Amino acid sequence: MPKINGNEIRPGNVLEHNGGLWAAVKVDHVKPGKGGAFAQVEMRNLRNGSKLNERFRSADKVERVRLEQKDQQFLYEENGKLVFMDTETYEQIELPADLLGDRRPFLQDGMTITVEFHDSEALHASLPQKVTCKIVETEPVVKGQTAANSFKPAILDNGVKVMVPPFVGVDEDIIVNTETMEYAERA
């Protein structure tokens, strides 16, 4: 694995540090009046989610890890495990359902997601940025109501509650941004 200097760390880099895999979340380069410059790095553990703040001088060497990204197709859920299939090799893998966190309800049958692997261990899974959902419950459309920053609550077919514009009604398909978990547009 390539080693990089402490001042070359950027947000999003994955580092091997203290025997664990850490993702750099926030990096501040500090040049104090006295002493050498350093990078103040906020890191998140990819295995257990814990956070760590660490200082790296430019002379410090850190191992940068490259994660392999593979597209996996969702097949089904069984005993708290999500079963995915590699779209190229047709191999099936099981991942814990909590790997997706609060975005789990947006996972739909047959959906292709990106899974990041280190060796053969799956560390992170990301859904497509936009997913189409159907509204099952919301207030009725009121004629003459303007769309000027007034949103109303709606419940989607996957049970998630989002805020939608007043002109959207029941049984309409909408596109939801899975990163912000907010209404994006009509489908």
Q: pLDDT per residue over 91-143, tens digit each? A: 998 888 877 878 889 999 999 999 888 888 888 888 899 999 999 999 887 66
Domains of the chain: 3-65 (2.30.30.30), 68-126 (2.40.50.140), 130-186 (2.40.50.140)
Q: Are 70 and 117 in contact (CB under 8 A)?
A: yes
Residue-wise pLDDT for 2-25, tens only, equals 899 988 998 888 899 988 899 888
Q: Are 124 and 145 in contact (CB under 8 A)?
A: no
Distance CA 157, CA 112 (A): 19
**152-156 and 161-164 as β-strands: parallel, antiparallel, unpaired?**
antiparallel
Instruction: Return the residue matching tokens 């993702």.
Output: 23
Contacts of 114 (CB under 8 A, 6+ apart): 69, 70, 71, 72, 125, 126
Q: Are 95 and 115 in contact (CB under 8 A)?
A: yes
**Amino acid letter, residue 184:** A
